[in-house]
Amino acid sequence: MAWDNVLGVAIVMGIFGLGLLVVLWPGEKHGRRLLTRWGIDRPSDEDVAEAVRYLKRRRIAYPCLFVLLPVLGDVIGLAEDTPWTIVWTLLLGGLFGELFAFRPPKTTRRRAMLAHRRVRDVIPAWALVLLGLTTGSGLTYYATDGRWQAVAVVAGCGLVAAGIVALAVRRPAAGDPVVDLVLRARSARVATGLTIAVPGALFHAEMSAAAVGVFVLGLIALRVVAGPHRSVAAAAS
């Protein structure tokens, strides 16, 4: 694609990303709904504020990502593979959110548990095993097929997901202990679920029945891993 076309696409996507940010900019209703879906039935105002802050940290980068990712896609030859662009926007938004959380606002309550979190506190071992299996299978399949751009996408998503899980475990505690754990778990599980679904979303348009099956299984895995898990809050209570 010519660079003038790439620039045009980037501008359009940037405007789209800005509009999406305005539509999805979280408020009290969004924060309360997030906590309720994850098992915190009567969150306090402070808990809701922490959840809203968590969502804002992730979504603030969306406009920039919608501008930059189409350009990057054209450079590495994936401009026409839309699913990876959406997944990378969500993954990188999550990564930036966890990085921002390393410097929480001075107004944030700091009464969360100071005990060191472990990986299994935020994501179950079976999900990590599934992540390893799907990422390894995707890398092998696309490398064998000579689709090195897809290999780069699968590997990159795996690295970003691993980074998000590590940051979710290590970042400073803030707010109520249960809310703190729920938000960490959500970050780790969403990143893991998205990455599990990536290999099946990169097949060519002329997909076989087996490819469709892999794609559907990836979506199911995404829903199971990344969907709200009320058990996280129950285990932390």
Q: What is the pLDDT of residues 84-111, one digit of tens each?
A: 667 778 888 899 989 988 876 565 555 5
How would residue 61 be classed by pLDDT, with cut points 50, 70 and 90? confident
Contacts of 84 (CB under 8 A, 6+ apart): 73, 78, 153, 157, 198, 201, 202
Residue 25: predicted pLDDT: 86
Is the confidence at residue 82, as pLDDT, over 60?
Answer: no
Dump pLDDT digits (tens) for 142-198. Answer: 999 888 888 888 999 999 999 999 999 998 888 888 999 999 999 999 999 999 998
Report d(CA 76, CA 193) in Å as an integer.
24
Considering the entire predicted model, what is its pTM? 0.84
Return the structure tokens found at 96.
């930036």
- Per-residue pLDDT band for 202 (boundaries 50, 70, 90) equals confident
Sign of CA dihedral 43, 122, 170, 52: negative
Residue 116 falls in which region: left (phi positive, over 0), alpha (psi -120 to 50) or beta: beta
Percent of the chain with pLDDT strictly greater than 70: 78
Helix intervals (H) in 27-102: 28-37, 45-59, 62-76, 82-100
pLDDT of residue 195: 94
Residue 139, pLDDT above cutoff 70: yes
Contact 111, 175 (CB under 8 A): yes
C-alpha span between 231 and 211 (Å, rounded):
33
Residue 30: phi and psi, rounded to 5, are: -70, -40
Looking at per-residue pLDDT, the higher value among 33 and 212 belongs to 33
**Tokens in use for 27?**
């408020």
Greater pLDDT, 219 or 83: 219
Cα 187 from Cα 120, distance rounded (Å): 13
Higher pLDDT, 154 or 234: 154
Q: What is the DSSP letter of 172?
A: P
Report which of residues 102 and 1 the model is more confident about. Answer: 102
**pLDDT at residue number 143:** 93
